[in-house]
């Protein structure tokens, strides 16, 4: 198994990319496992946060295109149009799931963060990166075009000019620079990234899960919704969240001058 899937008693679903010999480059089976796990997290009441990390020194070196195109492999002599048939059900399902699942997602990244690995980190709600991590879009240097939402995610997160520098010129960005650009949530020394990401995931797992999920949906919808639609969506989300048990607990904690004890319901 090249993705470890572990749900802890703390409500954190830990997904570990486990192919360190190839810098955790994704393959079809790994993408399918991630899709199943993240999709399921949105329905599983026991999951209150998702934490994605990589085994070894690197988070993810992109997609394993060498393995896919190896002689005699599954990609030998594919029919014309194989890419446009395959992507909608594989990598192009994964990024929208990360953006839409009503469960907070944290990424812990070190070393190389390239291609779809970079897009995983950007699509997550929070990414903690090593200061010396390397964020890289390898597409133009390899002679092909971006996929998995790169041309949609990056301009929205870091602006058009910086997105062009990364996607067309292949500009490599350090973790420290990624923080300055707004590409990641926080940075730490490489050895401190796992603990920092775990702490953030634990904070989210102990929070008001319903409110988190609805707020995440509002932020995602707000990228393209007009103001009047966004205000209607906010009213609907407020109606739902105000009926949650966590809302009642939040009010009680405020009145009693104590920290709230949210149960995620």
pLDDT of residue 92: 81
Which pLDDT score, from 0 to 100, does residue 232 have? Answer: 96
Beta strands in 35-176 (DSSP E): 49-54, 105-109, 112-114, 126-130, 134-136, 173-174
**pTM across the whole model:** 0.91
240 close to 209: Cβ distance less than 8 angstroms: no
Separation of alpha carbons 259 and 240, rounded Å: 22
> What is the mean predicted confidence (pLDDT) over 197-223?
96
Starting at the edge strand that comes first in sequence, how are the strands of the sheet with 112-114 ordered? 112-114, 134-136, 173-174
**What are the domain boundaries of the chain?**
3-205, 209-256
Taking the C-alpha atoms of residue 164 and residue 158, their distance in angstroms, rounded to an integer, is 10
Q: How much is the average pLDDT of 135-146?
A: 90
Taking every pair of C-alpha atoms in the chain, what is the biggest distance, in angstroms? 68
Contact criterion met (CB below 8 Å) for 211 and 241: yes
Q: Which CATH class, in words, describes the domain spanning 3-205?
A: alpha beta
Whether the per-residue pLDDT at 88 is higher than 70: the answer is no
pLDDT at residue 262 is higher than 80:
yes
Torsion of CA 179, 184, 185, 190, to 10 degrees: -80
Q: Degrees (nearest 5) of the Cα angle 23, 185, 203? A: 100
Average pLDDT of the chain is 92
What would the pLDDT profile of 11-31 be if each residue is shown by its tens digit?
Answer: 999 999 999 999 999 999 999
pLDDT value of position 228: 96
Q: What is the CA radius of gyration of the chain?
A: 19
Instruction: Yes or no: say if 20 and 56 are a contact pair by the CB < 8 Å rule.
Output: yes
User: 102 falls in which pLDDT band (50, 70, 90)?
Assistant: very high
Beta bridge partners of 14: 6, 51
What DSSP character marks residue 111? S
Q: What is the pLDDT of residues 145-191, one digit of tens each?
A: 888 999 999 999 999 999 999 999 999 999 999 999 999 999 999 99
pLDDT given at position 87? 56
Quick one: pLDDT band at residue 142, thresholds 50, 70, 90? confident
pLDDT value of residue 190: 95
């Amino acid at each position: 198994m090249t993705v470890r899937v572990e749900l802890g008693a703390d409500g954190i679903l830990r997904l570990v990319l486990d192919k360190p010999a190839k810098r955790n480059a994704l393959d079809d089976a790994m993408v399918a496992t991630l899709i199943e796990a993240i999709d399921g997290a949105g329905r599983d009441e026991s999951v209150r946060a998702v934490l994605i990390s990589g085994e070894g020194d690197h988070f993810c070196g992109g997609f394993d295109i060498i393995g896919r195109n190896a002689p005699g492999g599954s990609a030998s002599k594919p029919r014309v149009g194989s890419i446009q048939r395959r992507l909608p059900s594989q990598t192009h399902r994964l990024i929208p799931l990360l953006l839409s699942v009503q469960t907070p997602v944290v990424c812990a990244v070190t070393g190389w963060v390239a291609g779809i690995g970079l897009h995983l980190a950007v699509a997550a709600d929070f990414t903690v990166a090593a200061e010396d991590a390397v964020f890289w879009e390898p597409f133009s240097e390899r002679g092909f075009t971006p996929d998995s939402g790169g041309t949609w995610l990056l301009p929205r997160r870091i602006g058009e000019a910086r997105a062009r520098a990364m996607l067309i010129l292949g500009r490599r960005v350090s973790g420290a620079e990624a923080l300055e650009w707004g590409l990641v949530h926080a940075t730490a020394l490489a050895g401190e990234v796992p603990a920092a990401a775990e702490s953030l995931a634990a904070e989210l797992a102990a929070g008001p899960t319903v409110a988190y999920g609805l707020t995440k949906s509002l932020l995602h919808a707000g990228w393209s919704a007009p103001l009047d639609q966004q205000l209607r969506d906010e009213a609907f989300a407020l109606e739902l969240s105000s009926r949650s048990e966590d809302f009642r607990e939040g009010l009680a904690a405020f009145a009693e001058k104590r920290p709230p004890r949210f149960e995620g319901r």
